[in-house]
Each structure stands twice: as C-alpha cells, then as structure tokens.
Amino acid sequence: MGVSEIEAKIRAAGKKEAEAISKEADASIALFEGEVKSEADAVITEVARSRSKGVEQVSKRIRAATRLSAQETVESAKNRLIDEAFDKAKKTVLEASEADKKKYLKALADEGLKQIPGAVVYVDPAYAHLIKAEKRALSDFGVVVESKDGVVRIDNTLTAYLARVKQAQKAEIAKTLFT
C-alpha cells in the first residue's frame, strides 16, 4: 500500500467520522430545539395564564371601583335632596306670616323651658316684637333658652333646631323621600 492509498483510507475514515459527528450534532441540536420549544411553550402558557389572571383582577377592581363610585354618587344626590328639603323648610318658616312666626317662636321657647324650668329665653332683636323674651343678638330666627346661672343652654334657633332634627331623623327622612 502506497502513501496515496493510506491517505485515501484516512480521508475516507475521516469523512465517515465527520459524517457521524455531523449526524450526532444534528440529533443533539434537534433534541435541544425540542426541549427549548417545550420550555418556551410552558413559559408562554404560564405568561398567558398570569396575564389572564392579571386582566381578571384589574377588571374586578374596576367593577368594584365603579360600583363604589355609583353608590357615592347616589348617596351624595340623596344628601343634596335632603339638604334642599331642609333649606325649603327653613325658607318656609322665615317667609311665614307674623302670626305663624309667633307660634313657632312660642313652641321653640316652650320646648326649651320644659327642659330647663325657670330659664331665661333670648330672642334676636329682629324678632323681639313677636315673643316676650330677652333680646340677644342671635343672627337667626328662634330662641336660646339658658339657665339663670348660664350653665345649661339650649340653642333653639332655626338653624340649630333643623340641624338636630336632620341628624336625628336622617334615616327616616331618607326612607320617606326615597322609597
């Protein structure tokens, strides 16, 4: 065997070995690509699931915030209507006849005197001609009933009286107005 034959055998053996290495590499690459694809599919599925949960959570938060906002808007409108009703009641009293105003002042004074017998009744000078009471700047229609020593005081001015009634009867008023 000559050198050229040995070279040919070495080349043939090298070529066979190179082909075997190439086939093995191709098989390893295909296996690796399959694993990578499976892992990528799993990651894609998890991301999609996570995104779906995130979208669902955001959607739930938006719906809850919308419901809360709607409830607040309704409550605000109801409170505004109640305030308007009390403003109208106050206006009605202030625009009443002198005879009716006398009755209102007497009723407010009597109510205070029931709670503080022998007390002093004060009225704003603007309304002093309507009731027998001491004059004091109240800046409001109504009376203030005060014990002689000044320790106990009942503010039965129209603004204070309506505020107490509104607070005490708010639920009942809302029930009447909105059912």
Give dist(CA 162, CA 157) in Å, integer: 8
Give dist(CA 173, CA 161) in Å, integer: 16
What is the structure's pLDDT at 58?
A: 75
pLDDT of the chain, 179 residues: tens digit per residue: 565 676 566 566 556 665 666 677 666 666 667 776 777 677 777 777 777 777 778 777 878 888 888 888 888 888 888 888 888 888 988 999 999 999 999 999 999 999 998 999 999 999 999 999 999 999 999 999 999 999 999 999 999 999 988 888 777 776 776 66
What is the structure's pLDDT at 99?
A: 94
Strands 153-157 and 120-123 turn out to be: unpaired
- The full length of the chain comes to 179
For residues 143 and 131, is the Cβ–Cβ distance under 8 A? yes
For residues 154 and 116, is the Cβ–Cβ distance under 8 A? yes
Q: pTM for this one?
A: 0.58
What is the structure's pLDDT at 8?
A: 60
